[in-house]
């Protein structure tokens, strides 16, 4: 069997120190259960000595059934001049009743003398006595050597004494922390190899990403003998973040031959990344390696032509291995290969002589020159392909609309939209109010269409974005509006472009409804 590397997740503690990341105790429990199901051996629940929320999480964790994960409580070494059994922080760690605790101590002599204000000798006693006391209380103790690599550069002799103190105290694993994230991979490799050769306990790595090297540094540490990696899902964390465990798993297990998680769980890697992103309320990063929406996305015509013959031409692995999928975008950079691929994906038939593809490419290039962006609006792209090839049945036609906005100094503005549409030979005139002109239009159109298409009720707006394409015209500049909609089956994006923001919004709105109704019609025809 290949060498095993133990994963230690600190999303719920170190990850929440990142900007815009905030988790309730209930959120933490949901993430912990997901990580347990995925097979992460250690999950750090928080610092019970620092806030009531983490205390509450550990209370809930005691009643939960974790099958593969050891929930870990985090804290610091004892305070200067205080015995471990008298220290409130140490007591809080024990009160969690977790079998594993992680404590951090000062490796860098600067932190001991200038930040804590203690002697170097007292710092060593704080480390050894804390670890020994927790070990004596029956806990597995992981020791985090904070600022280890900075300390090694400043005083390599003393920094090794801090590790020896943790080892003599009974630490089960000693983790070397690049807390400031400023180390280089070759430094990490050399220092970790030296530490591994001199200590008798397993060594781990905790890397931050301030130089964009957290992943490289972690992999270098493993190659030099480290067998635990601490990190966070999606790389959340202080400043530039921690190492991303998603990328760690992908690289270690698929590229380097180490074992991290059960083989069958690799196909859930994309789902895990997006699940944590959703709970943390942080938008997924499209360019995230392995699991990002763009990780296996192809836009250039040469690339698309090649992957249709052999995906290995422009992909380093099969996206299905990590639960992702291949995507092909269509833009002004596209060729006929892109259109052929997308048409097959959308189950749209094109003429066999390539004329349809050429015509579609020409129309896309013309519209993108005007400001459209179809790689971000596949709902509008599907409608365009159907319209150009004569395969679109228009479910409704706009006869006219009017939007009025009234504002006085006492009340917020009131918006009302009146719409006249026709469906076949029937006409419908409807008015509705809204919180703004676009919302009023949306409400009026829904009201008019529901009479003919009751399935509209299940459709909802997910996102609405406006971007100025060229600001040279000031308030008369052309804008691009993108709308994201969803129903019980899927999410789709549509787009509109105009110098008039209401008109651009209307275009995107109509496309959104037409996409929905077009899909419904196709399902009816197939059944």
C-alpha 8/C-alpha 25 separation (Å) is 19
Q: Is residue 457 part of a domain?
A: no
Comparing C-alpha atoms, which of 374, 393, 387 is closest to residue 495?
Answer: 374
Q: Are residues 328 and 439 in the same domain?
A: no
Task: Output the DSSP codes for 183-235.
Answer: --HHHHHHHHHHHHHH-SS-EEEEEB-TTS-HHHHHHHHHHTT--EEEEBGGG
Which residue range(s) make up the domain with 184?
Answer: 6-261
Q: Are residues 410 and 303 in the same domain?
A: no
Q: Is residue 521 part of a domain?
A: no
Residues 6+ apart with CB under 8 A from 331: 299, 364, 368, 373, 374, 375
Q: Is residue 89 part of a domain?
A: yes
Structure tokens of 26?
């209930």
Query: 3-state DSSP call for residue 476?
Result: helix
So what's the pLDDT on residue 329? 72
Q: Are 107 and 67 in contact (CB under 8 A)?
A: no
Q: Are residues 27 and 155 in the same domain?
A: yes
Instruction: Count up the domains in the chain and report the number.
Output: 3
Q: Look at the block and give the residue holding tokens 């992981």.
A: 142
CA angle 331, 332, 337 (to 5 degrees): 65
**Tens-of-pLDDT digits for all 527 residues of the chain?**
469 999 999 999 999 999 989 999 999 999 999 999 999 999 999 999 888 999 999 999 999 999 999 999 999 999 999 999 999 999 999 999 999 999 999 999 999 999 889 999 999 999 999 999 999 999 999 999 999 999 999 999 999 999 999 999 999 999 999 999 999 999 999 999 999 999 999 999 999 999 999 999 999 999 999 999 999 999 999 999 999 999 999 999 999 999 999 999 999 999 999 889 888 888 788 899 999 988 998 887 788 788 888 989 999 999 999 999 888 776 656 667 777 787 787 777 877 656 677 888 788 888 878 888 777 688 888 888 888 888 888 888 889 999 998 877 666 678 899 999 999 889 999 999 988 888 899 999 999 999 899 988 888 887 888 888 766 666 667 888 888 888 877 888 899 999 888 999 999 999 999 999 888 877 666 65
Q: Is residue 257 part of a domain?
A: yes
**pTM exceeds cut of 0.85:** no
Q: Are residues 307 and 188 in the same domain?
A: no
Q: Are residues 382 and 400 in the same domain?
A: no
Q: Is residue 432 part of a domain?
A: yes
Q: Are residues 301 and 331 in the same domain?
A: yes
DSSP 8-state code for residue 10: -
Q: Are residues 144 and 53 in the same domain?
A: yes
So what's the pLDDT on residue 437? 87
Q: Is residue 409 part of a domain?
A: yes
Comparing C-alpha atoms, which of 309, 307, 306, 304 is closest to residue 336?
Answer: 304
Q: Are residues 93 and 194 in the same domain?
A: yes
Q: Is 67 exposed, middle or buried (0-12, 13-18, 19+ CB in 10 A)?
A: exposed
Q: Are residues 437 and 383 in the same domain?
A: no
Q: CATH number of the domain at 256, please.
A: 3.20.20.70
């Amino acid at each position: 069997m290949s060498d095993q590397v133990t994963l230690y997740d600190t999303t719920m503690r170190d990850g929440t120190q990142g900007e815009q990341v905030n988790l309730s105790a209930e959120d933490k429990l949901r993430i912990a259960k997901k990580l347990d199901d995925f097979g992460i051996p250690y999950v750090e629940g928080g610092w019970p000595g620092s806030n009531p929320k983490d205390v509450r999480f550990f209370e809930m964790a005691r009643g939960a059934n974790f099958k593969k994960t050891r929930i870990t409580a985090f804290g610091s070494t004892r305070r200067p001049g205080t015995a471990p059994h008298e220290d409130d922080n140490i007591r809080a760690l024990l009160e969690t009743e977790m079998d594993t605790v992680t404590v951090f101590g000062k490796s860098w002599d600067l932190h001991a003398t200038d930040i804590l204000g203690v002697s170097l000798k007292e710092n060593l006693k704080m480390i050894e006595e804390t670890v020994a006391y927790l070990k004596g209380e029956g806990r597995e103790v992981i020791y985090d050597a904070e600022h280890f690599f900075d300390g090694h550069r400043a005083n390599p002799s003393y920094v090794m004494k801090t590790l020896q103190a943790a080892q003599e105290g009974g630490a089960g694993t000693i983790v070397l922390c690049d807390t400031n994230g400023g180390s280089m991979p070759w430094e990490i490799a050399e220092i970790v190899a030296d530490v591994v050769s001199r200590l008798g306990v397993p060594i781990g790595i905790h890397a931050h990403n301030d130089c964009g090297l957290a992943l490289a540094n972690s992999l270098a540490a493993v190659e030099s003998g480290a067998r635990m990696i601490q990190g966070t899902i999606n790389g959340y964390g202080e400043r530039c973040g921690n190492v991303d465990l998603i990328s760690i798993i992908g690289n270690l297990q698929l590229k380097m031959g180490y074992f991290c998680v059960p083989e069958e769980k690799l196909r859930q890697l994309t789902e895990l990344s997006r699940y944590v992103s959703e709970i943390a309320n942080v938008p997924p990063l499209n360019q995230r390696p392995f699991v990002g929406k763009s990780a296996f996305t192809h836009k250039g015509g040469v690339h698309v032509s090649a992957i249709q013959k052999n995906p290995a031409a422009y992909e380093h692995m099969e996206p299905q291995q990590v639960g992702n999928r291949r995507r092909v975008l269509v833009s002004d950079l596209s060729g006929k290969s892109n259109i052929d691929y997308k048409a097959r994906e959308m189950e749209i038939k094109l003429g066999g002589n390539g004329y349809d593809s050429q015509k579609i490419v020409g129309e896309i290039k013309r519209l993108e020159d005007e400001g459209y962006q179809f790689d971000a609006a596949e709902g509008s792209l599907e409608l365009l392909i159907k319209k150009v090839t004569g395969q679109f049945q228009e479910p409704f036609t706009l006869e006219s609309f009017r939007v009025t906005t009234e504002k006085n100094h006492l009340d917020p503005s009131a918006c009302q939209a009146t719409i006249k549409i026709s469906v076949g030979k029937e006409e419908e005139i409807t008015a509705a109010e809204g919180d703004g002109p676009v919302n009023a239009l949306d409400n009026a159109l829904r009201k008019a269409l529901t009479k003919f298409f009751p399935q509209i009720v299940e459709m909802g707006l997910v996102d609405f974005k406006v971007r100025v394409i060229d600001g040279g015209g000031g308030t008369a500049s052309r804008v691009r509006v993108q709308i994201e909609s969803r129903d019980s089956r899927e999410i789709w994006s549509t787009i509109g472009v105009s110098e008039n923001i209401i008109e651009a919004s209307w275009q995107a709105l109509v496309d959104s409804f037409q996409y929905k109704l077009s899909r419904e019609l196709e399902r009816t025809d197939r059944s």
